[in-house]
Amino acid sequence: MAQEVRGVIARSKGAPVEIATIVVPAPGPGEAVVKVQACGVCHTDLHYREGGINDEYPFLLGHEAAGIVEAVGDGVTDLVPGDFVILNWRAVCGTCRACLRGRPWYCFATFNAAQPMTLTDGTALSPALGIGAFAEKTLVHSGQCTKVDPSASPAAVGLLGCGIMAGIGAAVNTGGVTRGDSVAVIGCGGVGNAAVAGAKLAGATKIIAIDLDDRKLAWAKGFGATHTINAGQGDVVEAVRELTDGFGADVVIEAVGRPETWKQAFYARDLAGTVVLVGVPTPDMRLDMPLIDFFSRGGSLKSSWYGDCLPSRDFPYLVDLYQQGRLDLDAFVTETIALDQVEDAFTKMHHGDVLRSVVVFSGTELA
């Protein structure tokens, strides 16, 4: 039977988000209804609200979440009600050209629920990244549910569902950071600081954190940055070169999503080094650079979609590292908030006051 729950929607471009009644259908074949326990506020939710992703309003926001499976539809064999899961936006299909070539982290035909969630008047909602978890319950494809250790804190491990996985994966999977590398990270919000943490996990010996905001840089030190640069106080490229014997870093991760910071990443990199773009630009942004520089500096220029993660491989092991005290996911949770405080959380994000605000639903144990 369909159920009515409360959820946070963005109704039109730029308008503040609002709480609405959401109709969640009973799960159909291959689908699952998940009782959401916690969901982080990611910059991508704000991009949706502002029309930076597409125009398919109204959006049901929220996509960095953990919860408990409540019900599954026909044909679902790997989940049962009661399972503790992190929601993912990469439910791999197994049959697209990427999957068939053994590269499922690029899957080009990921699964989402087939049925829409709606408003009470029947208007279909577009769930952010196919998830829509600023809601007491959400309908997803069963492949979007990754089972992890149920003793972990939902507010902390839910963050692996998007930004923190994207940042760790940008360093470890896309950037291929390895022991002894020098790494620079431009933009140290939740995603950038997760890249700092990922670089540390991978054994980088020099980790340079760069942001305009000293609070972000102080957090970066906690996640493993060995050096920090305030981007507002001088030439970022020169500063990175000074810290790397004049050469530049082996891997530079751009976690802002702007042409000027991408250019800094390009030139702050050693010859034959790697640039990883994990920040998401908007369609109007342009770059104008000498083509000869691309040739003569060599190396590799990559984008990182969701940290090139494979949820079934990466979520459980990162939860294990968290449980062992080797990955401090709690430190990303700056505050926990109620469902009606998402708009305030966007303001705080905008002011740089938080790494992550996390909506925690009543009745959730914070472990």
Ligand X SMILES: NC(=O)c1ccc[n+]([C@@H]2O[C@H](COP(=O)([O-])OP(=O)(O)OC[C@H]3O[C@@H](n4cnc5c(N)ncnc54)[C@H](O)[C@@H]3O)[C@@H](O)[C@H]2O)c1
Residues near ligand X, by CB under 6 A: 42-44, 47, 162-163, 166, 186-192, 210-213, 216, 231, 255-257, 261, 278-280, 304-306, 349, 352
The distance of closest approach from Cβ of residue 292 to ligand X in the complex, given in angstroms and rounded to an integer, is: 26
The distance of closest approach from Cβ of residue 203 to Zn ion in the complex, given in angstroms and rounded to an integer, is: 27
The distance of closest approach from Cβ of residue 21 to ligand X in the complex, given in angstroms and rounded to an integer, is: 28
Q: Give φ, ψ of 84 to 5 degrees.
A: -90, 125
Query: Buried b vs exposed e over 147-179: b needs ≥16 C-beta within 10 Å?
Result: bbeeebbbbbbbbbbbbbbbbbbbbbbbbbbee
Residue 130: both structure tokens together: 């196919």
Contact between 93 and Zn ion (CB under 5 A)?
Answer: yes
The entry of Zn ion, ligand X, none near residue 334 (CB within 5 to 8 angstroms by kind) is none
CA 170 to CA 313: how far, in whole Å?
15
By the 10 Å C-beta count (0-12 exposed, 13-18 middle, 19+ buried), 303 is classed as middle
Q: Which one, of 4, 5, 50, 24, lies nearest residue 343 by Cα?
A: 50
The distance of closest approach from Cβ of residue 362 to ligand X in the complex, given in angstroms and rounded to an integer, is: 25
Would you say 142 or 304 has its CB closer to ligand X? Answer: 304
Would you say 119 or 280 has its CB closer to ligand X? Answer: 280
The entry of Zn ion, ligand X, none near residue 145 (CB within 5 to 8 angstroms by kind) is none
Type of residue at 240: V
Would you say 300 or 323 has its CB closer to ligand X? Answer: 300
Would you say 176 or 352 has its CB closer to ligand X? Answer: 352
Strand pairing report for 84-87 and 145-147: antiparallel
The answer to whether the beta carbons of residues 159 and 40 sit under 8 Å apart is yes
DSSP 360: E
Q: Looking at 23, 32, 41, 42, which residue binds Zn ion (CB under 5 A)?
A: 42
Would you say 125 or 277 has its CB closer to ligand X? Answer: 277
Q: Which one, of 161, 190, 131, 166, lies nearest residue 64 by Cα?
A: 161
Residue 191: both structure tokens together: 């995603």
Residue pointed to by tokens 């034959």: 272
Contact between 99 and Zn ion (CB under 5 A)?
Answer: yes
Would you say 42 or 319 has its CB closer to ligand X? Answer: 42
- Reported as type and span, the H/E element at residue 70 is strand 64-72
CA 283 to CA 272: how far, in whole Å?
28
Binding to Zn ion (CB under 5 A): which residues in 139-168? Answer: 162-163
CA 264 to CA 363: how far, in whole Å?
46
Q: 58 preceded by cis ω (within 30°)?
A: yes
The entry of Zn ion, ligand X, none near residue 187 (CB within 5 to 8 angstroms by kind) is ligand X
The distance of closest approach from Cβ of residue 233 to ligand X in the complex, given in angstroms and rounded to an integer, is: 11
- Reported as type and span, the H/E element at residue 37 is strand 31-40
The answer to whether the beta carbons of residues 109 and 27 sit under 8 Å apart is no
Which residue minimizes CB distance to ligand X?
189
The distance of closest approach from Cβ of residue 94 to ligand X in the complex, given in angstroms and rounded to an integer, is: 21
Contact between 107 and Zn ion (CB under 5 A)?
Answer: yes
Span near Zn ion by CB under 5 A; candidates 90-98, 151-159, 193-201, 294-302: 90-98
Would you say 23 or 160 has its CB closer to ligand X? Answer: 160
The distance of closest approach from Cβ of residue 98 to Zn ion in the complex, given in angstroms and rounded to an integer, is: 5
The distance of closest approach from Cβ of residue 304 to Zn ion in the complex, given in angstroms and rounded to an integer, is: 13
Span near Zn ion by CB under 5 A; candidates 4-12, 41-49, 142-150, 276-284: 41-49
CA 6 to CA 23: how far, in whole Å?
9
The answer to whether the beta carbons of residues 186 and 231 sit under 8 Å apart is yes
Site pattern 161..200 for Zn ion (x: CB under 5 A): -xx-------------------------------------
The entry of Zn ion, ligand X, none near residue 269 (CB within 5 to 8 angstroms by kind) is none
The distance of closest approach from Cβ of residue 238 to ligand X in the complex, given in angstroms and rounded to an integer, is: 14
Would you say 111 or 332 has its CB closer to ligand X? Answer: 332
